[in-house]
Amino acid sequence: MFERLEAIENRFEELNMRLADPSVVNDQEQYLKLMKEHSELSDIVDKFREHKQFLKALEEAELMLEEKPDKELEEMIEAEISDARDGIERTERELKILLMPKDPNDDKDVIVEIRGGAGGDEAALFAAVLYRMYTHYAESRGWEVSIIDSNPTEIGGFKEIIFEIEGKGAYSRLKFESGVHRVQRVPTTESSGRIHTSTATVAVLPEADDVGDVDINPNDIEVDTFRASGAGGQHVNKTSSAIRITHLPSGIVVTCQDQRSQHKNREKAMRVLKAKLYEIERQKHDSELAENRKSQVGTGDRSERIRTYNFPQRRVTDHRIGFTIYQIEQFINGDMDELIDALITTDQANRLTNSEDA
């Protein structure tokens, strides 16, 4: 591992020199490519240098101890040795995680689908809560959100809403959100004050690249136009700008009516279709690696119940890792990082254990 780290550090220094070369700076394509590689290596190099600092501190402290210092100084040196050993152990573990193969989709934008499940109007209202939660979270990270398609209810919920989140690392932060989300609360539509349980399903799909990920034969799709309409059947506009694309081989149907331009709706609908087809291929590949999937946090299966939002107890519990937060108001307002970090850390630890056992 350390030979590999030395090679990475050498490459990082080489990149520093090349990025300072005027001929590289003037070649935009090459410059961006090298900057991307530099960015990918920087975290590993920073951690490796921190690791080497702890090694150096340990060596120096052990040499000082050999000089037979007085008791007070000896205790200070032993404390430094203990801190250095802890640092060496921690950074070595973190380096192993950084060197693990990255999910190739981690840096991609995502398409999120939320559908009201069991619970009628209350499920649709909960779907709207989840949509706002993800929107607030995206805004807190500087990501952009745009609705692709929605089926709103007259009381402010969504039977279904599909939207895109664009931003660096969106999939890496949101990929564990796929599954069944359950809510326990007293609905605003309930006069007797009884707690109801409702569900909504979430699917997070990495966007397929324009080149390489998915190739769609134009003869395999059927495109229809229709008038976009909102809640209660009111027409959003009077032209047939909404788009419905049917992928004949798979039977997948995608609609988009959020944009006033037919061209933009078609473009967004195609992105959703590509993401869905890419996800099918990805799941086929993952099913071939079923044993590896057991080491991951959940399966990404939208039928798996992953989380409960209990409003009377003010708690959010993720059932996959047994993690509970007692700040439900802050959580549904987009303060999700504590739970997302716990999911990522658990997944990393599981994959590290799995790779060491292999």
Q: Which residue has the higher pLDDT, 202 or 286?
A: 202
Coil/strand/helix, residue 12: helix
Is residue 261 helix, strand or coil?
coil
Sign of CA dihedral 226, 232, 237, 242: negative
Q: How far apart are the first and last CA of the chain?
A: 16
Q: Give the pLDDT score at 339.
A: 96
The whole-angstrom separation of Cα 179 and Cα 181 is: 6
Distance, in Å, from the CA atom of 316 to the CA atom of 179, rounded to the nearest integer, reads 15
CATH 1.25.40.10 matches 110-289+296-349: no
Boundaries of every domain in the chain:
2-99, 110-289+296-349
Per-residue tokens: 45: 């190099």
DSSP letters along 62-124, please?
HHHHTT---HHHHHHHHHHHHHHHHHHHHHHHHHHHHHSPPPTTTTS-EEEEEEE-TTTHHHH
Q: Give the pTM.
A: 0.71
Model pLDDT for residues 286-320, shown as the tens digit of each residue: 665 444 444 445 544 556 789 999 999 999 999 99
Please determine, for residue 209, whether its predicted confidence score (pLDDT) is greater than 80. Answer: no
* Tens-place pLDDT, residues 115-134: 999 888 899 999 999 999 99
Q: What's the CA gap between 116 and 212, in Å, rounded? A: 33
Contact between 140 and 172 under an 8 Å Cβ cutoff? The reply is no
The radius of gyration of the chain from alpha carbons, rounded to an integer in Å, stands at 26
Task: Residue 204: name the closest of 116, 294, 106 by CA.
Answer: 106
The second-level CATH assignment, the architecture, of 2-99 is Up-down Bundle (1.20)
Structure tokens at 134: 């993800």
Give the chain's mean pLDDT: 86
Query: On the CB side of 320, how many CA atoms lie within 13 Å of its CA?
Result: 27
pLDDT digit string (tens) for 70-123? 888 999 999 999 999 999 999 998 898 888 778 788 888 999 999 999 888 899
Same topology for domains 2-99 and 110-289+296-349, yes or no?
Answer: no
311: phi then psi, degrees, rounded to nearest 5: -70, -40
